[in-house]
């Protein structure tokens, strides 16, 4: 039996790279703005800036994890990894049946761990800020 391979989409790869670079640049500008704002501020303003920075650190992993859980549920439903119509950035061997379900279950577990770690970080950060 011949393995099914989804070929990489170079345009999609370029789009993802551009989006990632834009995100990094926006975060760098935002952090630079917060840093300049923090230099001559009172402790209450510093606590608010720290709160913003911590939200910027912990919210994106939660959003990525939710995306991956939805992706893995599609894999579970179809019994195929990656699901039909998915664009890939490198040549990917398609998994079917139990192999696909195992892979999607692994993605769900890792994503759930990301969510729990991020929520723990948010709880810790808020507790720390409230102590200031």
Taking a C-beta distance cutoff of 8 angstroms, is the pair 65, 108 a contact?
no
Residue 130 pLDDT: 78
Task: Please give the tally of structural domains in the chain.
Answer: 1
**6 to 3, 76, 88: CA distances (angstroms):** 10, 18, 7
- pLDDT for 108 equals 98
pLDDT in tens, 4-22: 999 999 999 999 999 999 9
The pTM of the full predicted model, rounded to 2 decimals, is 0.80
Give me the domain span that covers residue 37.
5-131
Lowest mean pLDDT among 14-28, 45-59, 101-115: 45-59
Rounded CA-CA distance 95/76 in Å is 11
């Amino acid at each position: 039996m011949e393995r099914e391979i989804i070929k990489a989409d170079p345009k999609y790869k370029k789009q993802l790279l551009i989006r990632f670079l834009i995100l990094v640049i926006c975060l760098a500008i935002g952090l630079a703005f917060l840093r300049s704002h923090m230099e001559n501020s009172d402790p209450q303003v510093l606590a608010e800036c720290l709160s913003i920075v911590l939200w910027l650190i912990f919210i994106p992993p939660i959003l990525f994890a939710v995306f991956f859980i939805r992706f893995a549920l599609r894999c579970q439903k179809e019994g195929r990894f990656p699901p039909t119509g998915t664009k890939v950035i490198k040549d990917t061997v398609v998994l079917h049946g139990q192999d696909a379900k195992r892979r999607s279950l692994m993605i769900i577990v890792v994503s759930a761990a990301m969510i729990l770690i991020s929520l723990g970080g948010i709880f810790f950060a808020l507790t720390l800020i409230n102590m200031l």
